Amino acid sequence: MTYSEENYLKIIYHLSLNQAKGITTNAIASQMESKPSSVTDMVQKLADKGLVVYKKYQGVSLTDEGRFTALMIVRKHRLWEVFLLEKLDFSWDEVHDVAEQLEHIKSDKLINKLEEFLDFPTEDPHGDPIPDRNGKIAKVDKKLLSEIAAGKKVICVGVKDSSSAFLQYLDKQQIALGSTIEVMSKEDFDMSLTLKLGDKQVTVSNKIAANLFVKTI
């Protein structure tokens, strides 16, 4: 299992959480910051190895083996994040790049001992669940932003609509995965929401809110 193959599996896993159907090569390419044609190549290799199911023009999905492999990478990533934050005093924004490297270290003993050293944490510092050594992972209850009551604080955990128009809109509003959003008020007339994003205040339509997954803090 190469570094690159692991990254593909991880990205396919994450995309699968928000979109149960076949994951398109385009979606993978934009996450990988590479090109769809490169993805087609790799996805065929992963299919040959039995890690994904792939049919031309139909997108990709993980096999049980592929999902398990992906979960082990997620497990490593999140445990290292806990380590960096709790033991080495990293701040949140510094953690990701390093965990991204550490997740590829191959040693079952290492990761199991690390888990023990950290006292078997069940969530990473974002509140995302950490898979156990058998690949079991707690379900996160994510909701649509449109279902959140005024006054609540939530974290953005995904999108329902992954069109580039929508994603570009989110970029423009500086809403990203992990962003903290406070729902200031809800307009009864059109169900639009006024949000607090950092120190900015933004109003978004119900259509926007109905396509953004969040979890309560």
Please tell me whether residue 25 binds DNA under the rule CB under 7 A.
yes
Out of 14, 19, 31, 36, point to the residue binding DNA (CB under 7 A): 36
CB of 1 to DNA, least distance (A): 9
How many Cα atoms occupy the beta-carbon half-sphere of 6 within 13 Å?
A: 17
Q: Is 79 helix (H, G, I), strand (E, B) or coil?
A: helix
* Residue (90 or 166) nearer to a copy of itself, CB: 90
- For residue 99 the two structure tokens come to 């965990």
* Residue (9 or 79) nearer to a copy of itself, CB: 79
CA-based torsion, 82, 129, 97, 215: positive or negative = negative
Which of a copy of itself, DNA, none does 173 bind, CB closer than 5 to 8 A by kind?
Answer: none
Binding site for a copy of itself (CB under 8 A): 84, 87-90, 94, 97-98, 101-102, 105-107, 109-110, 113-114, 117
Scan residues 112-151 and list those touching DNA (CB under 7 A).
none
Give the strand pairing for 180-186 and 52-55.
Answer: unpaired
Q: What burial class does residue 119 get, using C-beta atoms within 10 Å of its C-beta: 0-12 exposed, 13-18 middle, 19+ buried? A: exposed
Scan residues 150-169 and list those touching DNA (CB under 7 A).
164
* Residue (103 or 209) nearer to a copy of itself, CB: 103
Q: Is 55 helix (H, G, I), strand (E, B) or coil?
A: strand
Please tell me whether residue 16 binds DNA under the rule CB under 7 A.
no
